[in-house]
Structure 1
């Protein structure tokens, strides 16, 4: 997994590409990117499956803040991003949410 950030010069926006590797996706049929940036709505940000088996999604996020997020694999398995900028305790169990700073 990886996070790629690209700041836009013309606006206070950062283009963030989220990548879930084939190994992490575990032969998934679908993966959703779920977080503060989409109100933790499960079906909003479907990631696109790539030819190599990885999944990607690119979002335009306003700069100057942090966003918590996780990946949802096949509607059942929640995972965090090991390359996140940091982690935050989740109030919904004994897991940690990934955090990206833009």
Structure 2
């Protein structure tokens, strides 16, 4: 799930997944972090989910995927679209 908060010139996007699906550490990897695993790792929240928030420029489009333990790549079901193997996000 994606949560968005509009700010003056950027958008805070929170990437949210269930606490245990998939098991193990998960990071969001995309063009906004040079596709570098581990840069934005999802952390546990009190509501039983895990999440990470990234500030992105407003009115932009980004490609991303999730990377879980065991080199398991997967997409966001609630993305704004898909571009080949990647999820797309519009801010």
TM-score by length of 1: 0.80
Whether 2:52 is the aligned partner of 1:63: answer no
* Deviation beyond 3 Å, 4+ runs, structure 1: none
Question: How many angstroms does 1:50 deviate by?
Answer: 3.0
TM-score, structure 2 as length reference: 0.89
Corresponding residue SS for 1:44: coil
Q: CA RMSD in A?
A: 1.4
Gaps of 5+ in 1: 90-95
Q: Which has the higher strand share?
A: 2
Alignment of 1:100 with 2:71, yes or no, is no
Q: Which of 1 and 2 has greater Rg?
A: 1
Number of aligned residue pairs: give it.
Answer: 90
The answer to whether the Cα contact below 8 Å between 2:64 and 2:88 also exists between their aligned partners in 1 is yes
Q: Using a 3 Å threshold, how does the CA distance of structure 1 residues 75 and 67 change in structure 2: closer, same or farther?
A: farther
